[in-house]
Amino acid sequence: MNLAALHPGSLLTIADLPIPEVASILALTARLDQTPAAEKAKLLANRRIALLFYESSTRTRTSFELAAKSLGATTTLVSDKSSSIEKGESLKDTGLTLRALGAECIILRHPASGSPFVLARTTGLPVLNAGDGMAQHPSQALLDLRTILNRLHLDPTTVHDKSLLGLTITITGDILHSRVARSNVMLLPRLGAKVILCGPEPLLPEIAAGLADGLEITRNFDEALSRSQIVMMLRIQKERLAGLELDLGEYIARFQLNEPRLAAQAPKALVLHPGPMVRGLEISGEVADGPNSAILEQVTNGLAIRSALLVRALGAQAN
């Protein structure tokens, strides 16, 4: 196979993104937020961006698409349900086809871990990973970080290795299948935060502690919550459970974030959830809609962060 060099505008994983680069993406995000719409629409005018989605998505896909359009780019969506992917075309051939059609950047969501690397190497184009299997969801980690920094009134443009020192963040739920958890775990501790992972054994095996330095694993949500300033709830990914049976009643009793639990353990904690939520399961509607929740801010920050990632990918100048 003829392999191209990885394009520097790609974002394939958060794991090796240096903190100064994180700060620079957050600074670009802030600048774009201040840029008038008419100016913004010139930044990627006439550039072609392909969204290649092999898995369902609401927030990630829409925000990338709206971000691209607000920058003046032309977008096209290729999804596994209505394209030659259904006919068995490989990721490589689909990528090369998109490039031959003039795509200058590909946003990829795919069920196989590592697939963004394959696409980046075969096309040589900047590839933005919009979620690969259980591995990575780097733009989600960046938008979560922006949400946290905004809520804490910390300057996002100067993040460094101690920015989140003293903060404890508990991530609760289906850690095993969660690329969101994996990306956050590979970013937040590098900024000084303490991260606690919480969930039942089948959804959080002990080996998860090895994902990053200083991670703590617990089965006791109340206790973890009582030590946390931030709690991130995750959906149980039914589509990836592969026969695994869970007693949902017991799960809800032990791990649901509801009003009594929040009020008792962490009445001031910031509540995050990447979506999609299953209200009444991992989180109660009351908490999701309550004053602690920054869930819709996460969505809005997704649009901002993804605008910056597209500008970065295509090398446009945003002063």
Interface with ligand NCD by CB under 6 A: which residues? 59-60, 131, 137, 140, 179-180, 235, 237, 274-276
Closer residue to ligand NCD in complex, CB, 188/318: 188
Closer residue to ligand NCD in complex, CB, 179/306: 179
**How far is residue 72 from each of residues 37, 40, 107, 305, measured CA to CA in Å?**
10, 7, 16, 16
Shortest Å distance, C-beta 58 to ligand NCD: 8
What tokens appear for 190 in the block? 């590098």
| Of the candidates 191, 161, 157, the residue with the CA atom closest to the CA atom of residue 32 | 157
Closer residue to ligand NCD in complex, CB, 3/278: 278
Q: Which residues contact 178 (CB under 8 A, 6 or more apart)?
A: 134, 234, 237
Shortest Å distance, C-beta 278 to ligand NCD: 9
Residue 107 pairs in a beta bridge with 51, 128
Closer residue to ligand NCD in complex, CB, 239/289: 239
Shortest Å distance, C-beta 136 to ligand NCD: 9
Shortest Å distance, C-beta 39 to ligand NCD: 29
Instruction: Look up tokens 């970013």; give the residue.
Output: 187
Say which DSSP state 6 is in.
P
Instruction: Look up tokens 């922006």; give the residue.
Output: 146
* Helices 59-70, 295-314: crossing angle, 10 deg rounding: 50
Closer residue to ligand NCD in complex, CB, 124/133: 133
Shortest Å distance, C-beta 57 to ligand NCD: 6
Closer residue to ligand NCD in complex, CB, 40/137: 137
Q: Residue 206: what residue type?
A: E
Shortest Å distance, C-beta 208 to ligand NCD: 16
Shortest Å distance, C-beta 248 to ligand NCD: 16
Q: Where are the alpha helices (DSSP H) in the chain?
A: 19-34, 37-43, 59-70, 91-100, 115-123, 138-151, 179-185, 221-226, 248-255, 259-265, 285-288, 295-314
Q: Cβ(171)–Cβ(141) under 8 Å?
A: no
Closer residue to ligand NCD in complex, CB, 27/281: 281
Distance CA 104, CA 265 (A): 49
